[in-house]
Amino acid sequence: MITAAQLRAARALLGIDQKKLAELSGVSLPTIQRMEASDGNVRGVIETLTKVVEALHEAGVELIGENARSEGGGRGVRLRRPGSPNPTM
């Protein structure tokens, strides 16, 4: 599952707008807009979601699920639960 917040964050990391993501994924701009306006998990046709996720992956974004490990290298950002311990401090 991908959340609307992850989708917006992925675009921000790439420095692209919704139109560019639509072009990269082969999905319409209104569909991208609806996905990003979702509450929580993005809902839609699996094929469409797959196209968007694959486009983000090809562009260099690794989407990390809840409690999943990141196997890739490189820099990134991960949202943690408020109040959870900070392992780097």
How do the domains of the chain map onto residue ranges? 4-59
Residue 46 reports pLDDT greater than 90? yes
The pTM for the full model equals 0.80
Average pLDDT rounded to a whole number, residues 57-68: 84
4-59, superfamily in CATH?
Answer: lambda repressor-like DNA-binding domains (1.10.260.40)
Angle between helices 46-59 and 4-14 (to 10 degrees): 30
80 vs 64, higher pLDDT: 64
Which residues pair with residue 41 across a beta bridge? 3
Quote the pLDDT of residue 63. Answer: 85
Quote the pLDDT of residue 18. Answer: 97
Average pLDDT rounded to a whole number, residues 5-28: 95
